[in-house]
Amino acid sequence: MKIAFIGGGAMGEAMISGLIRQASAEPEAITVSDVDQGRLRVLAERHGILGVAENRQAIRGKDIVVLSVKPQVLPEVTDGLRGEIQPGQLVVSIIAGARIETLSRQLEHDCIVRVMPNTPAQIGEGISVWTATRAVTSEQKEMAQTTLTALGKEIYVADEKYIDMATAVSGSGPAYIFLMIEALVDAAVHIGMPRKMSSELVLQTMLGSARIAEVSGKHPAELRNMVTSPGGTTAAGLLRLEEGGLRAILTQAIIAAYERAKELGKEQK
């Protein structure tokens, strides 16, 4: 299976890295094109893949063409690729907001998978939500699913509307989690704990809590109650989080990201 990545930025590299490390993809089977020559050199050094400056050259003879550029440059990229993509080639777009109908019209191509991956893909711990057009064959769907499985978990949805929602939740999600990790580590340092120790405690607490929420099947409130003894330290900490509006602010963050994803879609029409 030969893959071309159009745009070798943060997410493109996360996928390339995941494919090589988790799915044992041959670096020779992956070509990346990017306007930034320095970036191509870095990707070639790090992953042993071929970098080319021309998008049209990159897609030649590939089974899958991944569009991994920022939404703002999508029209320029589709202008350059229009009429160049062969009917049998599968286009996989990871571009936030870019609707299938827009991609299909701009590329004059109807064999499209739209995915929302996330950056933990680079260590095989990502989660991707994806959908496919009717023209995508069952073999191509399988190929897409196998590729996404190498990056972590994957969820197929029949309705495209869930992709914009996933963009706000899991696509942007790692950034929210990293901000929380950073803030918790800084808070531990603030009360006098060494930074290295703070970091270890926060990370393992995040990992352990996520894991127990996953394996226990219990509602998060039940798990939270297990930590909260009457009149205790956790109750005191939780009260401050509620006073600070943690739930409301998280909801507002997800709504803001979702609205932005929909807006990006409208801008690209």
Ligand X SMILES: NC(=O)c1ccc[n+]([C@@H]2O[C@H](COP(=O)([O-])OP(=O)(O)OC[C@H]3O[C@@H](n4cnc5c(N)ncnc54)[C@H](OP(=O)(O)O)[C@@H]3O)[C@@H](O)[C@H]2O)c1
- Can you give the binding site for ligand X, defined by CB under 6 A? 6-12, 33-36, 39, 55, 68-71, 73, 76-77, 94-96, 116-119, 171
Residue 134 has phi, psi (to 5 degrees) of -65, -30
Nearer to ligand X by Cβ, of 202 and 265: the residue is: 265
CA geometry: angle at 17 spanning 12 and 21, to 5°? 155
- Give the chain's end-to-end CA distance (angstroms, integer): 32
CB of 106 to ligand X, least distance (A): 13
151 near 117, Cβ under 8 Å?
yes
Least Å distance between CB 122 and ligand X?
A: 10
C-alpha span between 222 and 182 (Å, rounded): 26
C-beta closer to ligand X: residue 74 or 198: 74
Nearest to 129 by CA among 170, 97, 100, 90: 170
Q: How far is the CB of 126 from ligand X (least distance, A)?
A: 9
Kindly tell me which of 43 and 198 has the beta carbon lying closer to ligand X.
Answer: 43
Residue number, 118 or 140, with CB nearest to ligand X: 118
* CB-nearer residue toward ligand X: 133 or 268: 268
Point out which residues pair with 113 in neighbouring strands.
92, 132
Q: Which is nearer to ligand X, 85 or 198 (CB)?
A: 85
Least distance in Å: CB of 78 to ligand X?
10
Sheet holding 64-67, edge to edge: 50-52, 30-33, 3-6, 64-67, 90-93, 112-116, 126-132, 152-156
Question: What residue number has its CB nearest to ligand X?
Answer: 9
| Nearest-angstrom CA–CA distance, 136 and 9 | 26
In the complex with ligand X, which residue's Cβ is closer, 67 or 111?
Answer: 67
The residue whose two tokens read 């939404």 is 71
* Closest distance of CB 97 from ligand X, Å: 7
* Burial class of residue 224 in the structure, from the number of CB atoms within 10 Å of its CB (0-12 exposed, 13-18 middle, 19+ buried): middle
Give the shortest CB-41-to-ligand X separation in angstroms. 12
Q: Give DSSP secondary structure letters for 102-145.
A: HHHHHHT---EEEEE--GGGGGT-EEEEEEE-TTS-HHHHHHHH
Q: How far is the CB of 77 from ligand X (least distance, A)?
A: 5
In the numeric block, the tokens 């509620």 are attached to: 242
- The CB-of-74 to ligand X minimum distance in angstroms stands at 8
Nearer to ligand X, 49 or 198 (CB): 49
